[in-house]
Homo-oligomer: A and B are copies of this chain.
């Protein structure tokens, strides 16, 4: 079942504040907020916690990365079948911190489609966004370097960066969702991202590092305008 749009995707990265028991705790907060608000929230915990988190919460749990290799004699890799067996519903692909070969991106998207897993391909500029869109993932998450880190948010930066990417992606594929993957910190940023044509946001430290994660999530969701 494809991920419900609009969506907020919370990447736990490998933060210690979001791994082990802390991963389960954060997953539960995300589940509660999703359940109370009806908003679509997807989480991507650290790899070792994938199965335990998937079996603990009822919102979709994604891998942060999968290897396009067959199950069996591939020690140390995370196969797509293994992720599915662990309960994952999808995966990030080609995250800025885990770039893949072009042919691997295609293999992961293709194999996930066959197994009924959703894919979110991460990209850093318009030509690369178009390239990913051409391989038909469920979502492309655009992370314009101009918006990554710091104080710049999509609301006060040149919003054309995002709307141009949305338009370029839609030219390649009408069905692929678009996520804003940088410059989002609060509900106002989410609202702006939605206004620019995206189907939601992908964020990490804004939630993981927050003092009051529940409050941040509730604020973010307010921007989805549902």
Contact = CB atoms under 8 A, between A and B. Distances in A.
A87 interface: yes
A203 to B, nearest CB: 12
A11 B81 contact: no
A128 B124 contact: no
A49 interface: yes
A52 B53 CA distance: 9
State the number of copies, please.
4
A7 to B, nearest CB: 18
A50 interface: yes
B97 A77 contact: yes
Contacts of A97: 73-77
Nearest to A55: B52
A54 B13 CA distance: 21
B47 A75 contact: no
B102 A19 contact: no
A130 interface: yes
Interface residues of A, number: 68
A145 to B, nearest CB: 11
Nearest to A94: B102
A6 interface: no
A13 B106 CA distance: 24
A94 to B, nearest CB: 6
B65 A75 contact: yes
A9 to B, nearest CB: 12
A71 to B, nearest CB: 5
Nearest to A127: B135
Given A20-B87, A48-B48, A102-B131, 15 more contacts: A14-B77, A14-B78, A16-B72, A19-B86, A23-B51, A47-B82, A48-B86, A74-B98, A75-B204, A76-B95, A94-B102, A99-B103, A102-B105, A106-B128, A127-B136
9 contacts: A14-B71, A46-B82, A47-B78, A48-B88, A52-B86, A64-B76, A103-B124, A127-B136, A128-B135
Q: Which 6 A-B pairs have the closest CB atoms?
A: A20-B85, A65-B76, A76-B98, A48-B50, A48-B86, A130-B134
